Amino acid sequence: MANNLLSRSWVEISLDSLSKNVLAVRELVGNDCRIIPMIKADAYGLGVDNVLASLEACNPWGFGVATVAEGCHLRDLGVDKPIVVFSPIPYQSYREALAADLTITLSSLESLERWLCVSKESRTCGRFHVEVDTGMGRAGFDWNTVDYWGEKLRMLAKRDQVVWEGTYTHFHSSDTDLGSSTEIQYERFCKTQRKLSQGDGMYHVCNSAAILVKPSFRADGVRPGIFIYGGNVGMSGQEPEPVVSLRARVVLLRDVEKNTTLGYGASYRSKGQERWAVLSIGYGDGFPRKLGNRGETLIHGIRVPIIGRVSMDTIVVNITELQGVKIGDVATLIGKDGGQAITLDEVADLAETVSYEILTGLTPRLPRVLV
Distance of alpha carbon 279 from alpha carbon 288, whole angstroms: 14
CB atoms within 10 A of CB 16: 11
* Nearest of 334, 278, 289 to residue 311 by alpha carbon: 289
Find out whether 296 and 263 touch, Cβ atoms under 8 Å.
no
CA–chain centroid gap for 192, Å, is: 28
Q: Tell me which DSSP letter residue 250 carries.
A: E
Q: What are phi and psi of 298, to 5 degrees?
A: -110, 130
User: What letter represents residue 219's amino acid?
Assistant: A
Q: Which residues are catalytic?
A: 40, 264
Task: Judge contact between 245 and 334, C-beta under 8 A.
Answer: yes
Q: Select from 199, 205, 200, 175 the least CA-distant residue to 187.
A: 205
Query: What φ, ψ does residue 69 adopt, rounded to 5°?
Result: -60, -40
